Amino acid sequence: MAVKFLDNLDLVGNQLQNVIIDVKAAAPASLGTGQLYMNVTSSVGTLVLDKGPKGGPHGVLIKDLLDVVVPGNLQMVVGTAAKNYSLTNSPVTYLTTGFIIGNNPHLELDGSLAIKKDTYFGGDIVDTGGTIGARGQLLSSEGTGSGVKWINAPVSFTKWILTGDTGTQDITDGNTVLVAGGNNITTGVTTTDTVTIDLDDSVTLAGELTVSGTSQSSFAGQVTIPITPAATTDAASKSYVDNSVVGSLVFQGPYDAATNTPNLDNNPNPNNIKKGWSYVVTVDGLFFTEQVRVGDLIIAQKDGATALSEWTTVQNNVDLASATQVGIGNVIPGTAAGIDVTYSNGTAKLELSPSNLTRAVAGPALADTVTYDKAGTNHAASFSDIETLIGGGGGFVKDSYGQTLHKFQHNLGTQNVMVEVLDFSETLDRYNTVYATVTRPTANDVWIYTASAADILVLIKKVQ
C-alpha cells in the first residue's frame, strides 16, 4: 500500500535515487500537467509525460526508451541553420535496435553525435577526400583537424613489455602471461579477463612482522610467543606471568615486635629478606617507628627491605570510624534520602523507602513510586507524576473534511506537541498515516496544509 503525501514534496535540490516510474497497464486518469507514468501495454509509447492542453492528452511519448514520437515537426540543426523535419511527411523506419528518418542521402550535425545503439548504413561510407574504403580498412582521424581518411586495419602487434619489481619480459603475439603466486600468495583466473590474488589462510613469515598504527590490533585465535620475554617491551607468556605472580606473597611466620624476632628492622639486615615475604604480629611493639599490634600483617615491598617505607602494614586492630578515620562503625537509616536499614546476624540490609520522601507533585504519599534526584535531594514520584513532570498525559483528536488548510485548536498550552495525520476518507486507506505540511502557529493551535482538498484525522500529543 502506497504512502500518501497530501502536500507537495520539496527535496530542496536533493536527488531522487533508485526510483521506478509509476507502471500502468493502461493510461490512468489525468492528474494534470507534468504527470509521468510507464504504460507497459501501449503500442504508441511506454514512458508518458503529460504536457497539458497544448500538447494534447499526452505531450511526449518515449517508445522502448529509443524511438521518439513528437506531435508536430522535429527541428535539427544542419550546418549553422535550423531546419524543420515533419515526421508526418518523412518516413520513419523503426528497427529492432534503431530507426531511420527520411530519405536524405546524408545528414550534417553541427556538433558531436553519440550513438548508443547499432547503426545501419544503406550506402557507401566516404571519407572527407571523397574516397570509399576498401574491404578491411578503417576510417580514422588524420589528427591535423582536416578530417578523416581510410587506413589499413592492424592484424597483429609487435610486442608489449611486462615489468615487475625486478626484471622485464617482452610479450609478443601468441604469448601467454602467467600471474604466478609466491610465498603465502595464491592466484587464480575466476572469470573472463579477471585474475584474483589471494593471501593464504595460514601465513608463515621468515622475517619480522611490524604492525603500524595507533588503533588496537586483535587476534581471533591464540598467539604463541617465547616463554620468557627478553626486552622490556616484549609480550609476556602465560607461563612467565604464572611463575612471576602465583606464590609471590610468601608467608614466613610470626613476628615478636617487642623483641624484633626474627630480626627485621636492624641494619644490616641478617635475614636476606625477599620481596613478598610476610609476617603476622604475635606480640605488640614498635616496628621501626610504627606501633603494630597482634594480628597485624607486615609485607616486604622489595628485596632486603631496611626501612619502614619499604614495608606494607595491614592492620588487624581497627579503631572506631570517624569523618577522617576509616574504622569500625555502623549504618543508620537515612529517612531524608529514602533509605531503610535492617540488621540480621551482623549484616546490614539497605532498602529504598520512597514513602518517606517528599512527593514530586503535591498530594498524598503513593505506594507505587520511583525515586529521583531533584537539585541534590531525593524525591518520590508516581507514574502519573512523571507524566505531569515531562508534559505527557495530554492529547487531542479531531477530524477535518474537504479543506486544504485544516486548523485545529488543541488548547494544550505548548508548541512542543507531536502531530500525526491520518487518511479519513471513505477508502481502504482510511486510518493510514499520510504526510502533509504541519505548522504550530501558537501554543494552542496546529495548522495542516494539503495541496488539494482532503479528509483527514489529526492526533496531537503534548510532549513538554
Q: Mean pLDDT by 10-residue block, N- to C-terminus, for the chain (464 residues)?
A: 76 80 80 77 57 48 44 46 49 46 48 65 77 82 74 74 86 82 84 83 77 78 84 82 66 92 74 84 91 90 86 79 72 70 77 68 65 73 67 78 94 90 90 93 94 93 81
* Peptide bond just before 262 cis, omega within 30 deg: yes
How distant, in Å, are the alpha carbons of 98, 145, 257, 304, 309 from that of 281? 105, 107, 7, 19, 18
299 and 339 together in one domain: no
Q: Is the pTM of this model over 0.75?
A: no
Overall domain count for the chain: 4
| Residue 136 falls inside a structural domain | yes
pLDDT of residue 97: 42
Cell of 331: 549504618
> Closest by alpha carbon to 434, among 410, 456, 402?
456
Given this model, what pLDDT does residue 47 score? 62
Residue pair 263/269 in contact (Cβ under 8 Å)? The answer is yes
Closest CA to 117 of 94, 85, 89: 94
pLDDT of residue 65: 41
Q: Does the residue 336 lie in any domain?
A: yes
Q: Element (H or E) spanning 207, and its range? A: none
DSSP H stretches of helix in 287-436: 383-390
How, if at all, do strands 395-409 and 445-462 pair?
A: antiparallel
pLDDT value, residue 365: 61
Q: Tell me which amino acid residue 21 is.
A: I
Q: Would you call 160 helix, strand, or coil by DSSP?
A: strand
Q: Kindly give the pairing relationship between strand 311-314 and strand 297-300.
A: antiparallel
Residue 86 lies in a domain: no
> Is there a domain that residue 339 lies in?
yes
CA distance 411 to 460: 11
Q: Which of 285, 314, 343 is the last residue of a domain?
A: 314
Give the whole-angstrom CA distance, residue 306 versus residue 308. 7
**Residues 375 and 348 grouped into a single domain:** yes
Residue 279 lies in a domain: yes
Q: Which residues of 31-70 are buried (b: 16+ CB within 10 A; e: fewer)?
A: eeeebebebeebeebbbbbbeeeeeeebbbbbbeeeeeee
- Tell me if 411 is assigned to some domain: yes
340 and 277: one domain? no
CA nearest to 286, candidates 313, 316, 320:
313
Q: What is the pLDDT of residue 362?
A: 63
Please check whether residues 355 and 397 belong to one and the same domain: no
Separation of alpha carbons 393 and 414, rounded Å: 13
- What pLDDT is attached to residue 271? 62
Contacts of 22 (CB under 8 A, 6+ apart): 28, 36, 37, 38
- Residue 418's SS3 state is strand
The alpha carbon dihedral of 118, 121, 124, 130 has a sign of negative
Q: Is 359 helix (H, G, I), strand (E, B) or coil?
A: strand
Q: Which of 120, 144, 175 is the last residue of a domain?
A: 175
* Pairing status of strand 445-462 against strand 417-423: antiparallel
Bridge partner residues of 149 (DSSP): 140
The set of cell numbers assigned to 97 is 535496435
Let me know if residue 104 belongs to a domain.
no
| Residue 162 neighbours by CB under 8 Å, 6+ apart | 168, 169, 170, 171, 177
DSSP 222-291: -----SS--STTSPPPHHHHHHHHTT-SEEEEEEETTTTBS--SSSS-TT---TTEEEEEEE-EEETTEE
CA distance 244 to 238: 10
Q: Is residue 83 part of a domain?
A: no
DSSP state at residue 10: -
Rounded Cα gap, residues 99 and 292, in angstroms: 108
Contact 433, 420 (CB under 8 A): yes
Half-sphere exposure of 453 (CA within 13 A, CB side): 3
Please, is 87 exposed, middle or buried when counting C-beta atoms within 10 Å of its C-beta (0-12, 13-18, 19+)?
middle
Is the same domain home to 374 and 428? no
- For residues 356 and 407, state if they share a domain: no
Domain identity same for 310 and 259: yes
Range of the domain at 397: 391-462
Distance of CA 280 to the CA centre of its chain: 59
The 10 Å Cβ neighbour count of residue 213 is 6
